[in-house]
Amino acid sequence: MPLVEDGASGVERLLAIKALPLFADVHADELAVIAERTRVHEFRPGDTVVANEDGPIASMHLVLEGRVTEYRNGELFRVHESLRVVGGVDALARTATAVRAVADVATRTLAIDRADLRDILEDNFNVLSVALRGVAAATVRLRRRLFPSAGFEAGGGDEVRHALAPALDELGARIAFLRRTTLGRAKIRTLGLLARDAELLDLGAGESLWKSEHAADHALVVVRGVVACTTVDGRQRFALGPETIAGLEETLAEAPRWYDATAREAVTAMRLTRAAIADALEDDSDMALDALAALATVASELRDRVAREGTGDA
In degrees to the nearest 10, what's the CA dihedral of 232, 237, 242, 245?
-50
Is there a common fold for 3-123 and 146-284? yes
* pLDDT average, residue stretch 246-258: 98
CATH number of 146-284: 2.60.120.10
Percentage of residues in the chain with pLDDT exceeding 70? 92
SS3 for 97-140, per residue?
A: CCEEEEECCCEEEEEEEHHHHHHHHHHCHHHHHHHHHHHHHHHH
Q: Is domain 3-123 in CATH 2.60.120.10, yes or no?
A: yes
Mean pLDDT value across residues 108-112:
96
Q: Decide if pLDDT at 2 tops 80.
A: no
Residue 174's closest CA among 276, 294, 55?
A: 276
Kindly report, residue by residue over 179-209, the tens digit of the pLDDT: 999 999 899 999 999 999 999 999 999 999 9
**CA–CA separation, 277 and 259 (whole Å):** 21
Residue 10 pLDDT grade (very low, low, confident, very high; cuts 50, 70, 90): confident
| Separation of alpha carbons 278 and 132, rounded Å | 11
**Mean pLDDT score, 1-8:** 60
Share the mean pLDDT of the chain: 91
pTM of the model: 0.92
Higher pLDDT, residue 23 or 142: 142
Within 10 Å of residue 147's Cβ, how many Cβ atoms? 13
Q: Please enumerate in sequence order all residues whose Cβ is within 8 A of that of 7, keeping only pairs 6 or more positions apart, or say none.
A: none
Contacts of 171 (CB under 8 A, 6+ apart): 192, 195, 196
Rounded CA-CA distance 188/117 in Å is 27
Domain ranges of the chain: 3-123, 146-284
Query: pLDDT tens, 203-237?
Result: 999 999 999 999 999 999 999 999 999 999 999 99
Q: What is the pLDDT of residues 155-182, one digit of tens each?
A: 554 444 444 567 898 999 999 999 999 9
How many other C-beta atoms can be found within 10 angstroms of the C-beta atom of residue 234?
A: 8
pLDDT score of 159: 46
The answer, yes or no, to whether residue 251 has pLDDT greater than 70, is: yes
- Work out the average pLDDT over 142-157: 86
**pLDDT of the residue at 5:** 60
The pLDDT-based confidence of 101 (bands split at 50, 70, 90) is very high
Instruction: Please list the alpha-helical segments (H only) found in the chain.
Output: 10-18, 28-35, 88-92, 114-123, 125-143, 171-178, 188-197, 248-253, 274-283, 285-309
Please say if the pLDDT value at position 311 is more than 90.
no
Instruction: Give residue-wise pLDDT tens across range 253-294.
Output: 999 999 999 999 999 999 999 999 999 999 999 999 999 999
263 DSSP assignment: E
Cβ-contact 35, 13 below 8 angstroms? yes
